[in-house]
Chain A
Amino acid sequence: MKLDAKIPSGPVQQKWDKHRFEMKLINPANKRKYRVIVVGSGLAGGSAAASLAELGYNVECVTYHDSPRRAHSIAAQGGINAAKNYQNDGDSVWRLFYDTVKGGDFRAREANVYRLAQVSAAIIDQCVAQGVPFAREYGGLLDNRSFGGAQVSRTFYARGQTGQQLLLGCYAALSRQIASGKVKMRNREEVLDIVVEGGRARGIVTRNLVTGKITTSAADAVVLATGGYANVFYLSTNAKACNATAVVRAWRRGAGFANPCFTQIPPTCIPVTDEHASKTTLMSESLRNDGRVWVPLKTGEKRAPGQIPESERDYYLERRYPSFGNLAPRDISSRAAKVVCDEGRGVGPTGRGVYLDFADAIKRLGKNAISAKYGNLFDMYRNISGEDPYEVPMRIYPAPHYTMGGLWVDYNLMTTVPGLYAIGEANFSDHGANRLGASALMQGLADGYFVLPYTIGDFLASAGPSKLTADAPCFAAVQKETEDRTKRLLSIGGKQSPDSFHIRLGKVMWERCGMARNRAGLEQALVEIPKIRDEFWKDLRVVGSGTELNQTLEKAGRVADFLEFAELMCLDALEREESCGGHFREEYQTSEGEAVRNDETFAHSAIWEWQEGGKRPIRHKEELEFENVHLATRSYK
């Protein structure tokens, strides 16, 4: 596998400008000769599809949802970062770049992160022009809040529904292009494979979820904007349908998979109390702007939170990280929560929870001010937990949420398969080993509005049209494989449901490849996962047929791919013998429990190449060079 990141030469500030100048252009009249398939209609896919169509390309956009507006991006709450420095508090492109590289624990590519920071401001402008109703001050100007891992206020937000409003803006732009005929929207279709022939991506294989029909489509380039894989843990904050199928299929077709073990488990989720829970719910991290995190000082404390006096509370984040306090980055705050719960000081019925307390903020600002900022989050909490957070502190606990790993891409966002791109959460992106809050929305929209539309043109101009149509033999072969696989899922005739396998897999992943990992546990997981997988293919039960809406069949296919992918995640976690960002190996920590990174050996991204016949995937490296942000121990003390 050849890994060429294609990072432009020159100072980091000039790379993107220089690259834009050097890239080949396609004249406007010729763009309509090219067909691009975008898989996914979330912030990344929706913005890419709309922007490519605005430029004149013929776009097909595929989603398994019934409408592009339902993509999981809709659920993002807290906000989106941009280096606008509207607050005059010292923000700049450089600072956002610096914070992101440092926040990612020095495991991201500098050049990409710098570009992300550079285009961030234009994203806000674009969204405002689309009518996104961001929060405003009384003077009519845009408001900001701060988020973990930053000491400036650079987060733009629309109450607690930022993702919804951004996605609706992007959906509107997409709708306009659908109306103009430049985008052919394909709802309720699931991509089940990618067609690669002669060293280039040629198209996709999809199953129509209503009719069950499996078809192929050809294109000059394919863009995967299929989101993250946190649902490998079964319980996560992701929407129920989020899955890894498209990226796993791409991996099997030759796209390198980077850093699969980098997963994010943020601290502010509602603890699960019932074994029948089907997901976890994130409370936006923005709550940590005003909420204070604490647990009782004593173990086995039985008193209600209101009865515990100040002197018997441990505000452990403020204590351990005085300069960032409750806004310490996610990975650090989550591990700190795990530590106090492991000590027996956790709260709630399961002992797996910590308090997030708004009493001081309500006293200081008044209930109305708190409600204006977080009203919908408080309502959601009350709805789920049955408790009123204006009266008693919220209880929170970490849960899987976001995945920094993903398909490896070069500076142009192209995978190792020419013509196959990955954008948004689906790529291994700009967040290194840990993503800062409010940076995923920024990255998805940066990729879709302002990066891919340029870089894809350069590829198409040099490679020319694909010339293969969907009746070429390579398409028929992949279609047959997909049909066979679907038939196989339907015909096992066993006893266990897809969900029951998913739940078992999730438990293994949470125990062994969750917030803290170690060699023995990971080796154990690598024995357990193949066992579950074997059992899956022997004892799965799917009823109904393949020629109609069959949600059990859909689920079965997704679980099958998770079972394959989970093994890769554990392998990656095992080989990365250091602690960095969201990847915490218990063997590598200080006596105070802080992560110990190993820059000598691991200042690289690990890229996995799939191998035929169940052979162990091959691990490749992209060495990371830090010329601008100096490698340093990340400290938020």
Chain B
Amino acid sequence: MNLTLKVWRQQGPSTPGRFETYEAKGVSEHISFLEMLDGVNERLLGEGKEPIAFEHDCREGICGTCSMVINGEPHGPVKGTTACQLHMRMFSDGNVITIEPWRARAFPIIKDLVVDRSAFDRIIQKGGFISANAGSAPDGNAVPIPKPDADAAFEAAACIGCGACVAACPNGSAMLFVGAKVSHLGHLPQGQPERDLRALGMVQQADAELFGNCTNHYECGEHCPKEIDVKVIAEMNRDFVRAAIRAEEPKQVAGSG
């Protein structure tokens, strides 16, 4: 099939960007979207032009590196699928495809389709963990975890940290990402001791990183390649409010008697 691509090109963070048009000819329906872009890049290089910078690594939908808005939708038209897992059989001859980077205040563009998502790392650093030094753990079966809890934790833990939720949200909110981590650890007994600190720390950091607020559009859930349930946002809000109230209560001080 033959396609027309309109691709966002931007030399650096502070230079203005623009759409460039490229023809992709004789594309096989058996290859992936990124393999199609590889082909375009090989041709550009052959013509002495700079290839389109885009990020990718595993190409198996698990590392969360690939990140592009395809025809207005983060990761493209197929639900529950990352850009790297998108196959050309989903397109047809003559299609015009626009390709843009994630657009969000908290994800500055580095070049072309490559953005800086380090804000996500900084959010995790504010509590997205359980403090358990190597060597200090009890036996893995010491605390049985009901299967429904383990499964719920897993569902939330499936987040790949790609940032599609932010790119999809009209407010550029990161609440699906934060909620997924809060929910993952909140469903496990091991996650309880630091539950309050986690909710407070991560939400405050998300604000500090200039991610927007959640006003219940739920575009994030629609575009999450791992189909993380938006209910994690409600769970996170609950944890946050409870933690905020408890943080204000006077601390119990041990009596002298």
A positions within 8 Å CB-CB of B: 47, 50-51, 54, 65-70, 72, 74-75, 84, 86, 122, 124-131, 133-142, 158-159, 161, 163-165, 168, 171-173, 175-176, 178-179, 185, 187, 210, 239-241, 273-274, 276-279, 281, 380, 383-384, 386, 449-450, 453, 495, 497, 499-500, 541, 543-544, 548-549, 551-552
Contact = CB atoms under 8 A, between A and B. Distances in A.
Contacts of B48: 541, 543
Contacts of B46: 495, 497, 541
Contacts, number: 207
B114 interface: yes
B58 A75 contact: yes
A543 B45 contact: yes
Interface in B98-128: 110-111, 114, 116-118, 120-121, 124-126, 128
A133 B150 contact: yes
A632 to B, nearest CB: 33
Given A75-B58, A240-B57, A499-B42, A159 B154 contact: yes
B87 A549 contact: no
Contacts of B146: 136, 140
Nearest to A75: B58
A185 B124 CA distance: 14
B125 A175 contact: yes
Contacts of B131: 176
Contacts of A163: 62
Contacts of B153: 131, 133
Nearest to A158: B154
Contacts of B111: 548-549
Nearest to A450: B134
Contacts of B190: 128-131
Given A138-B147, A161-B62, A176-B125, A130 B132 contact: yes
Given A281-B60, A499-B38, A136 B147 contact: yes
B16 interface: no
B140 interface: yes
Contacts of B31: 274, 276-277
B215 interface: no
Interface of B: 11-12, 28, 30-32, 34-35, 38-39, 42, 45-46, 48-51, 53, 55-65, 81, 85, 87, 89, 110-111, 114, 116-118, 120-121, 124-126, 128-141, 144-147, 150-151, 153-154, 157-158, 160-161, 184-185, 188, 190-191
A129 B124 contact: no
A383 B49 CA distance: 33
A548 B12 contact: yes
A84 B124 contact: no
Given A69-B64, A128-B137, A240-B56, A273 B121 contact: no
B63 A75 contact: yes
Contact of B161 (A54, A69, A185, A210): A69
A543 B51 CA distance: 8
Given A139-B144, A175-B128, A239 B28 contact: no
B71 to A, nearest CB: 19
A75 B130 contact: no
A86 B140 CA distance: 10
A371 B38 CA distance: 33
A127 B140 CA distance: 8
